Amino acid sequence: MTVPTPPDDQKPGGQIPDGQQPGEQAAGDYNPWSPPPPGSAPVGQEPYPMPMAPVWAPQPRNGMGIAALVLGIISVVLGLFIILFWMSWLPALLALIFGFVGLSQVRRGLATNKGMAVTGVVLGAVGLVAAVGGGVFSAIVVDKVVDDARTKVEEAEASASAEAESEAAAEAARHLSFGKPYTFDGGLKVTVAKPEPFTPDAFAHGHAKGNKAIEVTVTVVNTGRERVAVETGLPDVNDADGASASLVIDGSGRQKVITGYLLPGRTAVGKYAFSLPPGAADKAEVEFSPDAARWDDAYWSGSLNGKGADDKGTGGKGADGEPAGPAAQQVSGPAGG
């Protein structure tokens, strides 16, 4: 069997001639119209570069520093108003916390706003101090206000107690037994003697048969330096049961009503008759004032049986020991007239 002889430009066994690269054609065999061998670049063009994957730089974490700065400013502004101390401590505390966290991130290279974080820490500390100071100041002010209020209340209570005691003492001083003097403002000294039995005439009005009639004598002395208008009206008499006694009016002319002006050092005497029921005639109370529009009434009371404070008699003298005759100015008229 005959083996074909290979061309001169090829070697047996598929060997490539010396000096020729794989895929290259031998010199003199180039055909410009033939397609390029596989894997070769077009004639006159550079091979395309392979695209590179983008490298992203990490973004700085500046949020903590910014938050610390904002909260620090808020805490300081609120701290300027002392009454808002209860609102400034929280943003101040948060500013400190966020500021330290921001500084920690700056040290680790995660943040770049070191100045903001430091400023937030400083402002947070200032705000916290302002909050504490405002709280202490407010506590002192409130304590002082409470003390002042308590002092005023105690003073008011003491004043009210003293006033009540004074009124009670004045009320007690206006309750006397028969024959004791009581001096009203203006210097009018009034004495009500123990009532004496009174016998009405046949024409008496206000006295029922079986009742006990008494005569009430009222003596008024002007111990002051100016004349005083005396508009007494009539005294009120209550029996032992507290019921008002009936005024007795007869034609004997024995009843006299004090009225008009009373000069300094002068005395006026009034006489009034009243009728008491038999069952309540053992005790009486006389209520009297020289002028009810100006002074509260004083009260004289006591038993109508047995000896009283004035049972020794006055010997024709007034309750103050002075003669009740011509030396006394008696401006009077018929009772009920």
Query: What pTM does this model have?
Result: 0.51
Helix (H, G, I), strand (E, B) or coil at 137: helix
What one-character DSSP code corresponds to residue 249? B
pLDDT score for 265: 93
**Residue that has been written with the tokens 């005639």 in this structure:** 281
Q: Which has more pLDDT, 107 or 31? A: 107
Is the Cα torsion angle 248, 250, 253, 254 positive or negative in sign? negative
Helix (H, G, I), strand (E, B) or coil at 190: strand
CA atoms within 13 A of residue 56's CA, in its CB half-sphere: 3
pLDDT score for 319: 37
Instruction: Tell me the average pLDDT of the chain.
Output: 80
pLDDT score for 179: 94
pLDDT score for 46: 55
Report the share of the chain in percent with pLDDT over 90. Answer: 45
Please write the tens of the pLDDT for every residue from 71-82. Answer: 999 999 988 888
Of 62-66, 149-153, 322-326, least confident by mean pLDDT is 322-326
Q: Tell me the average pLDDT across 46-69.
A: 75
Q: Tell me the average pLDDT across 78-93.
A: 87
> Could you tell me where the DSSP H helices lie in 181-300?
none
- The tokens describing 145, both together, are 């206000």
pLDDT score for 126: 94
Q: Is the pLDDT of residue 274 over 90?
A: yes
